[in-house]
A and B are shown apart, each in its own frame.
Chain A
Amino acid sequence: MAAMIWRIEVALKNEIRDARGDRVQRELAHHFGIAVERVRTIDVYTVEADLDRDQIERIASEPLSDPVIQVFGVNRPLASDFDVLVEVGFRPGVTDNVGRTAREAIEDLTGRRLAPGEGVYTAVQYLFKGKLSPEQARRIATGYLANELIQSCRVIPRAEYDAIQGAPVLVPKVTSSVEPRITLVDLEVDDAGLLEISRRNMLALSLEEMRAIRGYGRRPEVRGARRQVGLGEQLTDAELEALAQTWSEHCKHKIFAARIDYRDETGASRIIDSLFKSYVVATTETVRRLKGADDICLSVFKDNAGVIRFNDDWSLVFKVETHNSPSALDPYGGALTGIVGVNRDAFGTGQGADLLFNTDVFCFASPFHQQELPARLLHPRRIFEGVVTGVEHGGNKSGIPTVNGSLVFHPRFLGKPLVYCGTGALMPAVVNGRPGHEKKARVGDRIVMTGGRIGKDGIHGATFSSEELHEGSPVTAVQIGDPITQKRMFDFLLVARDRGLYHSITDNGAGGLSSSVGEMAEDTGGFELHLDRCPLKYSGLQPWEILISEAQERMTLAVAPEKVGEFLTLAAEMGVEATDLGEFTASGYFHCLYRGRTVTYLSMEFLHQGLPQLQLEACWQPPAVTEPAVVSPQDLTGSLLGLLGRLNICSKESVVRRYDHEVKAATVVKPLLGVDDDGPSDAAVLRPLPDSFEGVVVAHGICPRFSDLDAYAMAANAVDEALRNFVAVGGDIDHVAGLDNFCWCDPIHSDRNPDGRYKLAQLVRANEALYDCCTRYQVPLISGKDSMKNDYQIGATRISIPPTILFSVIGKIPDIRKAVTMDVKYPGDGVALLGRTRRELGGSEYYDLLGVSGGAPPRVDADYGRRLFKVLNQARDEALLASCHDLSDGGLGVALAESALAGGYGLEIDLSQGGSGERLPDDVLLFSESAGRFVVTVRAPYRNRFADLCRELDLWWLGEVTDDRRFQIRGGDGKLCVATDIDTLKEAWQAPLKEL
């Protein structure tokens, strides 16, 4: 029997300002040019439960409304004084966090758990007053208020609302009557048939892979073993799905593991047997050998995140992930899931780590994009807002400070936004008598899953198509993270870790249980998992769906049988669900059962080793690049102001302030700096232990603008930029590790992708750069990830992102009190440029501003750079620097402007005196983006000492910090080429992305 349905509406009292509605009104005016008189909002809770009117009134009046500012109505509509109403709710099965909290509140209040079939569903009503046509309202509803992939929205004009007396009640409940069953798949078909099976089931397996699986099924010993457990010769749907997950590009990194036939521009050819081993792993091995006893690596490439040494008692964990495709579909949910997902990676490293900070780097097309959008793409402004809000909710609600990040813009990110989310964590060096970074499941350990429940979320990730949706069918591709369920789980697991209640832990991410249990079971050599014991969000899941669902907020643990009772009791007490699902065995098999019947019985050896290596071709042909003819104008003031207002350079304060960057009271160099707390910090410094002054430094580099000229330069500059930022604030160049996150466009040649060989060659060159730079800088790589299919193709339109590496670094500063910030501090200080400037304007912001292309991208001289970094470390120890700022986008001119406007003092710069080497035109000097450079300011007493330290490097005293607000630069001819003031500079820099 269906339970009673109640509809509770909660509205602000008339005299209370509606901040949510006001923001909608402002954004409509600003983004759509639609002026309405007023926007008000109402929260809607639809409660399907056996509750009486008294109970519902109490629920509405206590947890669901605030008596000071709100009113509520039970089965009574509250909307009044509006012309059009839009109600936005979730589609069935989509994570509804507010609904989940309301449900818990009802359970607390009534003292009983809601029964299966009972539930709470939330929606928001937007009430528009003013002239708004039905078409406009629909456009606002679907193009701004709701994402129809995950939400449903109804536009109700006033007359209709009055006629039906309120919005009709909707219960977005998942309804399903399917019975669990196991489907067998006949692989004894021809090649076309195999490919069809892969395509139809969204397995993304190639012909070679399908053949390998068919070959496995034909082995006599496999057939014999299957008979023993009651399985026939044909593989089950669950087996095929488990193989597809384990062998996916996402999990196995097939392109990075491929055998590549690489031909360079001279026609010379060579074989690269795995980019990952030849460059990434080789970098780390080389660096560790070079550093010998000073090696800082503790756990690299094998766990969910990399681990390095911090001090004798603590280790540092760092991981960066991407969540691009989900963010393209649902920017909010995709990004939220990205950040809470990478939190689990860092948490589930070793025996478990305490989360310390988040970092975010987003790559978008311009939010001011004017041209028509290709089909199915969201406007970059929606992606921007959704992603920023998703990460805001994920980070802030998890209580993790967001300390570092970037917003990067390029027109081709229209095809796919890049959403990089990183998390650092602190791990005890020793946990329960074992190194904290080591874990091992043991034979006989129980498989315990904890955290959220399993639903159809994230099955087959982004391949789902919305046409298959019907009323009552859950959305499967998009997931929405639930930071509070995860926070509760982490609170519980830290207690469990410290009580020694488990042997091993890992995250449920891509591939769900199939991956998490499958990977952990490599320790023991097998497992037995009972899928019917898994807690589900709703009924109607097939066994294979339970196995591979990517439902969020779940960790898998190996718990000794004698500890299971204590583990489960602690979980229940702390309000966290945990379930014993089976056992780690030494059987050699990936063995899943459903109600006692075997649904998978795959050899662990085949699952993990049976994947055939991909064979690929790469062909490098450098693009023909010529130096464009640019005549430097005498007055470069306009150019400088223009550069400061470019999206890649301008202030990101409106975004930064939305992130809590100092919760945990550990952040000591914050993202916003200077006299008015609005200057751009180069990197973050944290003090993770309140009883020590040792610090953690976090920074990154990202340079997609160079990849069309040369992916080698793109990668090398990303490494250099990250290390410059790191060293600028005082990070120790001998105690730093790197993480490489590759986002590429499809590098596999095919008819649809005719330049695949070139894109693969770009990938090879980027790897070469990574190896060359990191080995010279002696920076080990400890973790990384690749996302290889960042293309958009619908019909004839193909948009491929510029190949992009995010290079993130984590390291140490011996004493946080020695940290250096980028803002100028004292009038009279000397201003100096450290490093070599060359005519390297290819891919620069300046050329882009001028609308010219070509030119040489910056070349990185890592041997020189390392010497320079060592000098800056020495200067830090001797406290010689008042400020230090890295030169990147916009070069010297922009760096000088930023340091000045952040510090609140003017500068008097003269480029006609001093300097060494080739005499360059003023615009080249000011706007070239040559790597390995810094602007420093130095107090008078320290100038000689600093100059002495830099005697073997290029140090150029450019001028002085002044006691006024004028900003003046004399060019090579001694005449003023920039004459303005820091207020004008700041205004230009802050204008583009100012908060509404």
Chain B
Amino acid sequence: MSKPVRAIVITGHGVNCEKEMAHACRLAGADAADIVHMAELLAGRVRLRDYQLLNFPGGFLDGDDLGSAKAGVNRLRYAAVAGGENLLAQIRSFVGDGKLVIGVCNGFQLLVKMGLLPALHGDYGRQSVTLTCNERGRFEDRWVWLRVDPDSPCIFTRGLQRLYLPVRHGEGKFVAQSGAVLAALEAKRLGVLKYCLPENDLPTLDYPWNPNGSEAAIAGICDESGRVFGLMPHPEAYQHRTHHPRWSREPELPEEGMGLWLFRNAVEYIRRERL
């Protein structure tokens, strides 16, 4: 018997997509998907090491008040954990153990700002890219087409070519610290997901297909191991055909939503690698 696949979904302080994230993990085959409030981790009652898939869902951590996820990173770094190391250290050990981490939207912002993504050269502590205000200066909810880089090391997107998912954010514009960082990302094929034109899969800088003005049309990136992955669009929001905005006029849509594919890849990897 293979070891059960256990996913943990972190919530609290403004996270708001935890339920659908956990449900997506279950539908994708995880044996357990526990929604755990940050307080449980700080009290030391729950340890990350008991899980193999770590989910940071979307939401508005601390209201995005200091810039998205900024206060959240500060909490992970400084809030005391009863009888253990701080959460940032626990997360780094989790990654070091070869396990999988996914951050969606606010969770992606959190991963980037804590330095876990893209963590070039395995430096999981230094922030080198960011997600900032959409160029149009507005929060937007709209569905976007995403091109998947087939040559990326990303575990979550293996075998996928194209995704259709909703973005729902005000701070999703991807910006790299320098041209060198962006070039390194591209060279290492870490820019996994790119906003693209619906008709030809070409990455685009044009609104509304690229809804926020992201550099190099980047919608999601992974680290060099491919096991840490973050994206602005919401895969957990497309689990069933009736989540698709045009399901009532596209009868040929498959029953299962495309968003689940990402979680299924993760669960299969964990099973295969006996993590």
Contacts and interface: CB of A to CB of B under 8 A. Distances in A.
A101 B65 contact: yes
- Range of interface residues on A (Cβ < 8 Å): 35 or more
A823 B17 contact: no
A825 interface: yes
Interface stretch (B47-55, B95-103, B131-139, B145-153): B131-139
A668 B243 contact: yes
B30 to A, nearest CB: 14
Nearest to B236: A665
Contact of A995 (B15, B73, B136): B136
A766 B151 CA distance: 66
Contact of A66 (B19, B113, B236): B113
Contacts of B168: 396, 660, 662-663
Contacts, number: 193
A920 interface: no
B228 interface: no
Interface string B67-78: 100110111011
A101 B177 contact: no
A487 B14 contact: yes
B249 A903 contact: yes
A484 B14 contact: yes
Contacts of A396: 60, 139, 168
B246 A574 contact: no
A819 B78 contact: no
Nearest to A656: B141
B63 A97 contact: yes
A69 B14 contact: no
Nearest to B168: A660
Interface in A60-89: 62-69
B249 A823 contact: yes
A690 interface: yes
A104 B249 contact: no
Given A63-B71, A66-B113, A663-B168, A399 B11 contact: no
B66 A825 contact: no
Nearest to B242: A668
Nearest to B64: A397
Main secondary structure on A side of the interface with B: loop
Interface stretch (B122-130, B154-162, B187-195): B122-130
Contact of B175 (A20, A69, A661, A664): A69
Contacts of B62: 101, 104-105, 484
Contacts of A575: 12-13, 39
A63 B66 contact: yes
A662 B66 contact: no
Interface stretch (A47-55, A299-307, A671-679, A846-854): A671-679
Contact of B78 (A111, A487, A903): A111
Contacts of B59: 399
A102 B138 contact: no
B37 interface: yes
B221 interface: no
Contact of B139 (A400, A487, A658): A658
B85 to A, nearest CB: 15
A491 interface: yes
Contacts of A573: 39, 42-43
B28 to A, nearest CB: 13
A17 interface: yes
Interface in A325-354: none
Contact of A487 (B16, B77, B80, B177): B16
Given A484-B14, A658-B139, A816 B63 contact: no
A397 B245 contact: no
Interface string B10-51: 011111110110010000000000000101001100000000
Q: Report which residue of B37, B64, B248 has the largest number of chain A beta carbons within 10 angstroms of its beta carbon.
A: B248
Nearest to B113: A66
B37 A491 contact: yes
B246 A69 contact: no
Contacts of A69: 130, 132, 175
B269 interface: no
A574 B60 contact: no
B86 to A, nearest CB: 10
A392 B79 CA distance: 30
Nearest to A671: B141
Contacts of B60: 396-397, 399, 483-484, 487
A64 B249 contact: no
A816 B242 contact: yes
Given A660-B141, A670-B245, A108 B12 contact: no
Contacts of B173: 19
Contact of B133 (A20, A108, A398, A661): A20
Contacts of A268: none
Nearest to A12: B132
B179 to A, nearest CB: 11
B237 interface: yes
Contact of A659 (B14, B137, B141, B247): B141
A111 B143 CA distance: 42
Contacts of B132: 16, 19, 66, 69
Contacts of A664: 16-17, 19-20
Given A69-B175, A101-B65, A484 B20 contact: no
B135 A574 contact: no
A483 B139 contact: no
Given A66-B132, A101-B63, A101-B65, A677 B246 contact: yes
Interface string A647-666: 00000000001111111110
A798 interface: no
B13 A19 contact: no
A67 B176 CA distance: 11
A665 B249 contact: no
A938 B75 CA distance: 57
Nearest to A70: B67
A69 B239 CA distance: 35
Nearest to A576: B39
Interface of B: 11-17, 19-20, 23, 37, 39, 42-43, 58-60, 62-67, 70-71, 73-75, 77-80, 113, 127-130, 132-143, 166, 168, 173, 175-177, 213, 236-237, 239, 242-243, 245-249
Given A672-B245, A677-B143, 13 more contacts: A19-B132, A98-B66, A100-B65, A102-B66, A104-B62, A399-B17, A487-B16, A488-B12, A491-B37, A659-B141, A673-B245, A816-B242, A819-B248
16 contacts: A19-B134, A63-B71, A68-B130, A69-B130, A98-B65, A101-B62, A104-B71, A105-B70, A108-B77, A487-B13, A491-B11, A574-B39, A663-B237, A664-B19, A817-B242, A823-B249
7 closest Cβ contacts across the A-B interface?
Answer: A399-B16, A101-B65, A23-B137, A665-B20, A68-B130, A19-B133, A19-B137
